[in-house]
Amino acid sequence: MTIAIGAMSLQSAKLQLINVAAMVASAVARGEPAELIDQLVATAGEQVAFELEELEDSICVKLSVATPIAGIEIGFLELAEKQCARASGQ
């Protein structure tokens, strides 16, 4: 039961990271202000690492965070997600 709860917790955290990374990539591609980008990144939780990659026709955002595994005392697992959006005006 503990392992199932831990797995569900990780899946929930991963889905949140996917959602936030996609929103941040879209916001950056639209040219939104840095303050808004920071607020969006903060919704993924505390101590989220943020990387931005500008490609020829798209903007990619990678978010990563160390997540504790609920109910299991093995420390943290790093979750990462990369989402891209087409750059506006190109």
Domain count, the chain: 1
SS3 string, the chain, reads: CHHHHHHHHHHHHHHHHHHHHHHHHHHHHHCCCHHHHHHHHHCCCCCCEEEEEECCCEEEEEEEEEEECCCCCCCEEEEEEEEEEECCCC
Domain that holds residue 71: 2-86
pLDDT digits (tens, 9 = 90+) for 6-36: 566 678 888 999 999 999 999 999 999 999 9
pLDDT of 3 reads 57
- Average pLDDT of the chain to the nearest whole number: 85
pLDDT digits (tens, 9 = 90+) for 41-78: 999 888 899 999 999 899 999 999 987 766 666 677 88
